[in-house]
Structure 1
């Protein structure tokens, strides 16, 4: 069996020596042999294909567990299934990024399109019956969507819409969110008093534009916000196009 040192192997695979060592540490690219005295790693030429596969997948930000799944697949069908899941993930991520770019276009290139009517009105306390869960700030849409699906599947909320999601006023890395519907015996209570509201029509990814307009309007009125913040989903994302989604944003104000 012909072996080559790590430097030559890395050159053939178009990788850095550091990357090859990292993949070894992750158990994805174990050397064919390691010198017991020097610790030098040696590889077979057949391992170049594995190294290239790893590099291509990681270049697409495929998680390491999925890379391991692809490498350990015993047949072509298993490999195809794993890659199909990643293709779907990448397509969803591309769609999300396109929505973000649309938001930037609206904000920076066509600010006249970013217009929201804000109203302030008194309302009584409201109880919500639903589900609560932890949400990550860097996966806000994904985690909130999962909570909405869980709420719709629960016995108390199923078939009763629109859903209301309750967020803290200030975001941290991870926080609790409640998703539910108004109910006489609900466990989550939204305070009564003055609330500022506005409507957003369009994709959820563009909601930050509506938040900015809402909170800036309140600031210009000289009112103090105390929270919480709510999003009421007035259209079904399962049937409405992204541009047709209607969301009511509201924030509680200091009396």
Structure 2
């Protein structure tokens, strides 16, 4: 049948059917060599609808190809199960983003932060380094924390500490560990500003804003690093009850401070 009739059966636009051909997802059953007209078979309607549904869910093209090339129903089911997990995680992420927007809108009334500035001695951490993307900061940091716990690379039961650069770039190194005299990473001594955040991890930017604004208003200069100390166990604590200590190293008078080694 010609492309217009095929598109009508699949409830798609002709433009969409042509696009699927260009992407190699839905090759016509025949192409007239003189006119270039595309022709399709009735049994290709199901394939066209499958592609449209998957793309409507923002399933990446390589995964769509996996579904179409799967040898049997079990293989298709496995790919779709992965996509269900992906979409469920994306739904959680978007819900968290909306909750963060609510918290940001209500921050002056609901999110007071007490900031303290005090001298600290130098400290060492034992743990593991990992790469974290700014666009997936919470997810990547959480994955790194879980990897550290599973690997048993941190001694004792002290709360985990994550060490970040002061300024974010697209991708950067993060250390997750615990204080240890023989740790291989050093935190600088000197003045540090700290505050406590109570609530979900995606709301942490509110604490950072309050912390760094306090530093600026009181004439201090943040040089980093930044640390997050996770004082509650997320596997046993609800998101609204999570407690995180956020801290940033400040420059002593006339110096630029020291970063994590």
TM-score normalised by the chain length of structure 1: 0.89
For structure 1, list consecutive stretches of 5 or more residues without a partner in the other structure: none
Written as runs of structure 1 = structure 2, the 5 A alignment for 1:166-245 is: 166-245=163-242
**Partner SS state of residue 246, structure 2:** strand
Contact 1:4/1:45, CA 8 A, preserved across alignment? no
The aligned length equals 252
What is the Cα-based RMSD across aligned positions, in Å? Answer: 2.1
For structure 2, list consecutive stretches of 5 or more residues without a partner in the other structure: 253-261
Q: 1:135 to 1:36 in 2, by over 3 A?
A: farther
Pick which of 169-178 and 92-101 moved more: 92-101
Q: Which residue of 2 aligns with 1:4?
A: 2
For 1:128 and 1:40, how far apart are their aligned partners in 2? 67
Q: 1:109 to 1:160 in 2, by over 3 A?
A: closer
Written as runs of structure 1 = structure 2, the 5 A alignment for 1:1-255 is: 3-5=1-3, 7-37=4-34, 39-109=36-106, 111-157=108-154, 160-255=157-252
Report deviation, 1:105: 1.4
For 2:18 and 2:122, how far apart are their aligned partners in 1? 59
Report deviation, 1:61: 1.5
For 2:32 and 2:128, how far apart are their aligned partners in 1? 57
For 1:223 and 1:55, how far apart are their aligned partners in 2? 55
For 2:117 and 2:233, how far apart are their aligned partners in 1? 26
**Partner SS state of residue 223, structure 1:** coil
TM-score normalised by the chain length of structure 2: 0.87
Report deviation, 1:38: 5.0
Report deviation, 1:110: 5.6
Pick which of 144-153 and 22-31 moved more: 22-31
